[in-house]
Each structure stands twice: as structure tokens, then as C-alpha cells.
Amino acid sequence: GQNIDQPTEMTATEGAIVQINCTYQTSGFNGLFWYQQHAGEAPTFLSYNVLDGLEEKGRFSSFLSRSKGYSYLLLKELQMKDSAPYLCAVRFFGAGSYQLTFGKGTKLSVIP
Amino acid sequence: GAGVSQSPSNKVTEKGKDVELRCDPISGHTALYWYRQRLGQGLEFLIYFQGNSAPDKSGLPSDRFSAERTGESVSTLTIQRTQQEDSAVYLCASSSGGVADSYEQYFGPGTRLTVT
């Protein structure tokens, strides 16, 4: 299977900027998603990247480098409510089918 | 309209019993996915339905697991002869396009299964 690597935990200060990295194996790559998952709740969609570059959506931005197998999620003007696990998910094409593989998630803690 | 719904929200069962989990996708969504999330782990793909195509069952961990979907509506995930390692949150998601598209997946609240 494909390995999706992201840090287990991160801590950042309210009002600051934080970058959550995600690396993956490039073979068969066909798109990358970021989700936020508050404790006890379902994941909610944040962003989608399939081409190189930066996608900006309000306080959240996501970057992709296909050649490096690398993405990051950038959160600006952090708020306490941003404390949550963030999941990186990569769609791969292989053996005639697509499959979405999720990383284990990065637990972000925003402190005052 | 309503989002993805799942039932029950919590299920406690004895080892060896069968359980059935239900998912109601968003109306009009052609694609439906089941995932499993063990404590402290990432989401693990189980099965994917797309319209009337044959489902992609490549993620089912054993023949004790099966799933059905009626047309483009309700899906049920059945686990036979449950084992303690089956304890997890089972998440269902739906999307308006297939897995090959950029359509985001909308997740349900999940069913927390505990096998004692």
C-alpha cells in the first residue's frame, strides 16, 4: 500500500501561522485532499490539489509539489477552534482502479 | 438537504455476533465509501460503490466483511462473527462524482463499534 507521512502532533499560538506537511509516494498519484476532523465528528473537506502550486481558501491554503511527493496545509491567523486533527489523503491509481489513502493525521493544538 | 447519516451511532456487541451498520448518503450522490478508523489510526478504506458498477471491495479485511448498496441510496455494512479487533469507528462518505474526480467526500458521523 501507499504510505502517507505527516507529523503526529503540532502546537502553535493563537494568531500565528502553522504549516502541516504531508509526504507520499509519487507512483500513481492522482490528487491530494486535506480534511479536518474534530474529536468525535466526521472529517470535513478543506482543500483539493492535483496540479503543482498553491490553492488559497480564506485562512487556509494548500500547496502541492508532484515531483517531490509533498504537500502542506497552511493555516493563518490561528484561532482556538482550529485545534483538531488534520488528515492528508492521497488518491492513487493502480491496478486499474483509484483508491484514496489517508494519513494518520496531525493533531494541532492552538494555545493562547 | 440533509448530510450523510449513519445508524446506529454506537453499537456494543459480543464477540462472535453479527452486526449491520447503515449509511444513508446525500441524495443524488452516485459514489459511496466505507472506511474504518481504529483508535489513533488513520482512515482505512474498506469498499467503494459507484453507480451501478461492480463495487471495489479491495479494502475489505476479511470475508467476514460484506457490504451492499441499493441503487444509489442506502448501504449496509455487515460484519459477521465479530472479533475484538473489529472495534473501531466505521465511517461512510458519499460524493457526487466517482473516486477519479475531484469531488469532495462528505462524511457521516460514523458508527462506533465496540466488540466485547
Whether A103 contacts chain B with CB within 8 A:
yes
How does residue A10 score in pLDDT terms, banded at 50, 70 and 90? very high
Chain A hits for B99, Cβ within 8 Å: 91, 97-100
pLDDT in tens, A13-64: 999 999 999 999 988 898 999 999 988 788 898 999 999 999 998 999 999 9
The pLDDT of residue B57: 87
Chain B hits for A48, Cβ within 8 Å: 102, 104
pLDDT in tens, A82-99: 999 999 999 888 766 667
What is the pLDDT averaged over residues B60-70? 93
Whether A3 contacts chain B with CB within 8 A:
no
Q: What is the 3-state secondary structure (H, E, C) of chain B?
A: CCCCEEECCEEEECCCCCEEEEEECCCCCCEEEEEEECCCCCEEEEEEEECCCCCECCCCCCCCEEEEECCCCCEEEEECCCCHHHCEEEEEEEECCCCCCCCCCEECCCEEEEEC
Sequence length of chain A is 112
If you measure CA to CA, which chain B residue comes closest to A49?
A: B102
Chain A hits for B56, Cβ within 8 Å: 97, 99
